[in-house]
Structure 1
């Protein structure tokens, strides 16, 4: 698999965006938006898996103003350090950086026109906000904690939207997930998948305290099926 690192320039600096190319060398784009552990081994694995499906994948390093090239360890200390960084992260700037990264991704010669987002945890929230701006062509959001309090923006999300949650997520209470389900009800192109026994970050195979080997593959299948319908590889 071919990989490289692009440099995305914004008004106050620049940051890295690793890119994974499919075997064909060309395909739709996916902006893979990080969780609190940064663009580390888990995100790189997701990038590789999406590229293997035929997508050109870019994962912007959004913590660059706080700690360039941050990769939090998947242990208690690494989680604490990652959450500390996340608490100091400027969310609105992160949305702006992600919008710039999506524009950069679209401009790559290997990207065949359309481009969507696949956001995880923090990235799920950011991807949803990009959707509300009308920027991606499809939005996949895994357990985005900001979504339940921003359901009023769903009217502005014109692209197909998939929201995935764990019904036993201690960071996103079930009653908040229900707000997303209620907002999505009857909306064409909007899907909400709730895996009732799963917690937070359950797709992350490198986080033993979070990973759920039963529900992780189900969520991945739901996401890739959604992408195949709304961002097909031709």
Structure 2
């Protein structure tokens, strides 16, 4: 097996172009045209794109059929959103019907893909009941292809999508096999949704956004949940807005901690792409689990 690629294997400008492509600021043709100048002997622009794209098998940590877990597909009513939202629920099998602290898992801008399902299973192995809703439900759900998922995601009615996430949170919070204490974790787009949920849900017990867009600074006064914020070292698109929001959190007396991981790229926790940073991801995840256990309790 060839050695795993790392951010150091790519020119920083290529990583910036890829980030723009992933987030819809650059289409496939635009990426290929601009990345062509970084092509090297035997490596085309298309090859660079393929190398940077997710490999879900390489990043899987917990098999879908792991006997330690009970997983199921659920459909949740969302009358103020798109009618319903589907999701993936995971619990430790040994817990039976024991009441567990709950965590809402919010995906990136590609819907409920195999990586986010794996994250959900990891949380269940850590003793939580975890639910990952799929914002792509109204367009048929995650299509099994990242490019198609990204295109479908751009068609969503975001106000209705946000109502879907609120419905998922209420459904999870009300489950009889939950302890009544709920947290939320999200990545990229999902990190932004977690920041937003912290301004909308007064009973949210803990919020962990990974490199997510922040709400307007004036909304910081609405935050009641303790925040654990993870930022990449090189991520100007996200990091530029953080100082103003942090100042607003301080002024509002919000409880928060922030960690910025030097030398990392946006998406450093996603172990399906070369932007993954094992050391930073391990530390961020350890901090995340400790934070949830502190604020949500344990089984």
Shift of 1:7: 0.9
Aligned length: 224
Shift of 1:185: 4.2
- Are positions 1:9 and 2:77 aligned together? yes
Shift of 1:181: 3.7
Shift of 1:170: 4.8
For 1:35 and 1:96, how far apart are their aligned partners in 2?
17
For 1:67 and 1:169, how far apart are their aligned partners in 2?
32
Unmatched tracts of structure 1, length 5 or more? 73-77
3-state DSSP of counterpart to 1:69: coil
Contact conserved, 2:110 with 2:153, CA < 8 A, in 1?
A: no
Partner of residue 75, structure 1:
none
**More displaced, 126-135 or 179-188?**
179-188
Shift of 1:135: 4.5
Quick one: which of 103, 108, 118 aligns to 2:185? 118
Within a 5 Å distance, the mapping from 1:1-80 to structure 2 comes to 1-11=69-79, 12-22=82-92, 23-25=94-96, 26=98, 27-72=100-145, 78=146, 80=147
Partner of residue 261, structure 2:
195
**More displaced, 183-192 or 126-135?**
183-192
Contact conserved, 2:198 with 2:225, CA < 8 A, in 1?
A: yes
- When the two structures are superposed, what TM-score results if normalisation uses the length of structure 2? 0.69
Shift of 1:119: 1.3
- Are positions 1:166 and 2:232 aligned together? yes
For 1:141 and 1:32, how far apart are their aligned partners in 2?
10
- Are positions 1:95 and 2:165 aligned together? no
3-state DSSP of counterpart to 2:265: coil
Contact conserved, 1:94 with 1:126, CA < 8 A, in 2?
A: no
Q: Which has the larger Rg? A: 2
Distance 1:99 1:135, change over 3 A: farther
Return structure 1 stretches of 4+ with deviation > 4 angstroms.
none
3-state DSSP of counterpart to 2:297: coil
For 1:221 and 1:32, how far apart are their aligned partners in 2?
16
- When the two structures are superposed, what TM-score results if normalisation uses the length of structure 1? 0.87
For 2:248 and 2:160, how far apart are their aligned partners in 1?
26
Shift of 1:92: 2.1
For 1:197 and 1:179, how far apart are their aligned partners in 2?
23
Partner of residue 288, structure 2:
223
For 2:162 and 2:125, how far apart are their aligned partners in 1?
27
Unmatched tracts of structure 2, length 5 or more? 1-68
3-state DSSP of counterpart to 2:237: coil
Distance 1:182 1:71, change over 3 A: farther
- Are positions 1:130 and 2:197 aligned together? yes
Shift of 1:188: 5.0
Shift of 1:65: 1.9
For 1:167 and 1:91, how far apart are their aligned partners in 2?
28
Partner of residue 156, structure 1:
222
